[in-house]
Amino acid sequence: MKRIMLFIMTNIAIMLVLSITLRLLGVDSILAENGSDLNIQALVILSGVIGFGGSFISLLMSKWMAKRMTGAVVITNPSTNIEKWLINTVEKQAGIVGIKMPEVAIFPSPAMNAFATGASKNNSLMAVSQGLLDNMTQGEVEAVVGHEMSHIANGDMVTLTLIQGVVNTFVVFLSRIIGHVVDRVILKNNQGHGIGYFVTVIVAQVVLSILASTIVMYFSRKREFIADTGGADLAGHQNMINALKRLGQVEPEALPEQMAAFGINDKGGIMALFSSHPPIEDRIAALEKRALTRS
């Protein structure tokens, strides 16, 4: 709750500063002189509602969406030895990191992957692929599970949702400001919103969204290093390193976009700036360096 309030208050403060800055720079005066009826204060509120609204709705629906997009089946009554072991492992780690037992699921994919999601650390889902269970040793699987449990315990789902809400707010706000400037100042349209406004808003929102995604992905990559150290603490540095090495030997199957940032590995983007995960080599190097300093 403190994390949520901090980000909300930060976002409000940023938007207020932005609103005051635009007023001091005379943007509202320029728009008014050109016949604009833009209400910056109202736009600030609207942008916040739209920006955070979509992010929080997505967060609240995250477990439901994850199960349907991956075909993950929650283990309610473990019937095999591997299912019993997996439940026991998650239960043990949940006790260590101090969270309620999450739902545990297996999704039918031959690729080695895993993910964690949920609206809060005490209302979460941890899932591993069948391919992960089939191709990794128990120690390696335990490390991957520890990585995902660290994501949950650190509240990474909520953190990235809030960051996404902040950048969404800016995208909505700035795209409409740009649209008004183009429509009123450049195109000299003084009769309602013309086609120039709507086209400009759409184009600006697409461009700004692409740029904003680099911010979210940057934070996602930072959280991956932290989750790796969590997995190492829970299952041992060498198990975590071995799991990453095994993942680095194959081309990963990408998770659905909404969950890629919470997986153990991902194909990443065309450019490093758009990747939700750091390179496997960098993650292994960071763990090896940490292991040396702790030995």
Active-site hit among 140, 148, 251, 257: 148
Other CB atoms within 10 Å distance of the CB of residue 92 = 13
Task: Report how far Cα 207 is from the mean position of its chain's Cα atoms.
Answer: 19
Own/partner contacts of 3-11, CB < 8 Å, gap of 24 or more, are 3/155, 3/158, 3/159, 3/162, 4/158, 4/162, 7/159, 7/162, 7/163, 7/165, 7/166, 8/52, 8/162, 10/166, 11/48, 11/52, 11/165, 11/166, 11/169
E strand segments, 20-129: 73-74, 103-107, 114-120, 123-129
> Is 148 a catalytic site residue?
yes
Tokens of 71: 């075909």
| Torsion angle in degrees (nearest 10) through CA of 257, 261, 264, 270 | 70
The edge-to-edge listing of strands for the beta sheet with 73-74 is 73-74, 103-107, 123-129, 114-120
What are the catalytic residues?
A: 148
